[in-house]
Amino acid sequence: QVQLVQSGAEVKKPGASVKVSCKASGYTFTSYGISWVRQAPGQGLEWMGWISAYNGNTNYAQKLQGRVTMTTDTSTSTAYMELRSLRSDDTAVYYCARDVISSGLLIRGYYFDYWGQGTLVTVSS
C-alpha cells in the first residue's frame, strides 16, 4: 500500500533552517512527483512547490522563491523540503503529497491521492 511517512516535529529559532523528509513506499518513486503543502495554525492549505522524482525538476510558489529547496534521494525513495531564513509566520504543519511528473499524466488522477501525516514546524525565539 502507498505510504508517505514524514519526519518528526521541529522547533527552530528565527533565521534558522529546517529540512523535512517524506519517505515513500508502495509505489515506484521515480514515476511520480511530490508536492509540499503547509498549513499555519487555524489557517487554510498553502501549496509550496513541486518536485519531479524522475528528474529533479522543481516549481516553487512565488512567495517562497529563494527560501525553499526541494530535493529527492531516489536511492531511499525520500523527498526533502528545506526552508531557510525561518520567520514566526513559517510556523505550520508541513505535508507532502504524491503528484505527477508531467502534465500529460494528470488525466490518470494520480495526484494528491496520498498524503503524509504532516510535520509540525514551530519557529520561536
Partner 1 sequence: DVVMTQSPLSLPVTLGQPASISCRSSQSLVHSDGNTYLNWFQQRPGQSPRRLIYKVSNRDSGVPDRFSGSGSGTDFTLKISRVEAEDVGVYYCMQGTHWPTWTFGQGTKVEIK
Residues near partner 1 (CB under 8 A) are 33, 35, 37, 44-47, 50, 59, 61-62, 95, 97, 99-100, 103-104, 106-107, 109, 111-113, 115-118
Any idea what DSSP says for residue 61? Answer: -
Q: How far is the CB of 15 from partner 1 (least distance, A)?
A: 28
Long-range CB pairs of 38-47, under 8 A, 24+ apart, other chains included: 38/92, 38/93, 38/94, 38/95, 39/92, 39/93, 39/95, 39/118, 40/89, 40/91, 40/92, 41/91, 41/92, 43/92, 46/92
Q: How far is the CB of 19 from partner 1 (least distance, A)?
A: 20
Nearer to partner 1, 14 or 56 (CB): 56
Query: Closest approach of Cβ 40 to partner 1, in Å?
Result: 12
Residue 55 grid coordinates:
528528474
- Residue closer to partner 1 by CB (options 20, 75) is 20
* Pairing assessment for the beta strands 119-123 and 92-99 based on DSSP bridges: antiparallel
In the complex, the smallest distance separating the C-beta of residue 100 from partner 1, rounded to whole angstroms, is 7
Which one, 44 or 89, has the nearer CB to partner 1?
44
Which grid coordinates are listed for 12?
Answer: 527552530
* CB nearer to partner 1: pick between 63 and 87: 63
